[in-house]
Amino acid sequence: MLNELALNPQNVLLITDANVDIEVMKDAVVKSKINCGEINTLFFGPASKEDFPELQLKIETGHPEDVEIPEEAYELIKDTDVLMVHFCPVPAKLIEKAEHLKLIMTNRGGVEHIDVEAATSRNIPVVNCIRNADSVGEFLIGLMIDLTRDITLSNNLLQAGKWKREYYNSSIQKTLGNSKVGLIGMGNIGCVVAKKLLALGVHTMVYDEFVTYESLVKKGLGDLEYTTDLDYLLGTADIVSLHLRYVPATEKWFKLEHFQKMRKDAYFINSARGGILDYDALVKALDMGLIKGAALDVFDKEPLGEDYPLLHRENVLLTSHLAGTTLDSIALSPYILARDIDEIIEKGVTDRIVNFKKITIE
């Protein structure tokens, strides 16, 4: 079925947003192995990146049917063979109107915006793009060092004219190499973070109920400490970092009971999804002294209001959902996706086909 994409002209529908230039998307698909026929383009969402976070959060924590998409898409999809989107939802009612659709592609790793079940019922492959694992991995390690060594905190005080050398955590400061880092969730980003930490000589602990140690060994991660005991990881690690996907089963998954099992001198980090953390529980944990500090790049509400309860705390490091926003991870992500599509067409590589095990590919 997918070989046909290269053999015969395919009508392509590209739906972009403020984060990815439509010309980049078009150039990527034209240069791919897909034999492009007619190419139609649509724009989804607000025109400015600054106005996008609220919509993004709604998409990432909701269902594809929750957000309106361009009305023209319902007409154009009828004659579309290949659909490429970034954040634009692909609801079941859009898929139902597709008479010739052979492939759905998204320029991001998460597929919360696509009704994968509806695509699967039509035997349509859904292909995602692991575009920002390195970006997030580097950023996360930066958060670990910044939070534990007070880099931003010291800078802010100096900028305000205050010279200070003793901080809330000065008595427990140590190098990352002498710390134990616990990662919860070993998907693409979790594995990248683990690989970078191991390269730095950091004792890395991991927990993921759906991943085996043997599978991690095959990825070159045999030197980490694998555990099936979450309580053990929480009670041992100096830094606990979340790397779970947001699905209904993981909504507000990390709760007060988890913070209660952490060490009082430990730090907590979430740069995955805002929806997987109970933020009220985090506020309580900090107020009760259950943990030493926290760093967050994702939130339950974006952008933050002036009265957000985690603002203005010296032991909390906040960034505005920046971890994956390097040039090569978002703006140029269509080229990464196109490369993955070429691997599928030429070599039959199926790693990026989200629903591969549930469909039949001829």
Q: Which residues are designated catalytic? A: 273, 302, 321
> Taking Cα atoms as reference points, which of 224, 213, 218, 262 lies closest to residue 242?
262
Q: What are phi and psi of 16, to 5 degrees?
A: -105, -175
Position 329, amino acid: S
Q: Is 62 helix (H, G, I), strand (E, B) or coil?
A: coil
Angstrom distance (rounded) from CA 356 to CA 359: 6
Sheet holding 293-296, edge to edge: 225-226, 203-207, 180-184, 239-242, 267-270, 293-296, 316-318
Strands 82-85 and 180-184: unpaired
> Taking Cα atoms as reference points, which of 132, 189, 128, 137 lies closest to residue 340?
128
Judge whether 185 and 233 are in contact, CB under 8 Å: no
Angstrom distance (rounded) from CA 45 to CA 68: 9
Angstrom distance (rounded) from CA 317 to CA 146: 8
Q: What are phi and psi of 292, to 5 degrees?
A: -80, -40
Contacts of 176 (CB under 8 A, 6+ apart): 141, 144, 145, 148, 197, 200, 202
How far is C-alpha 353 from the geometric centre of its chain's CA atoms? Answer: 17
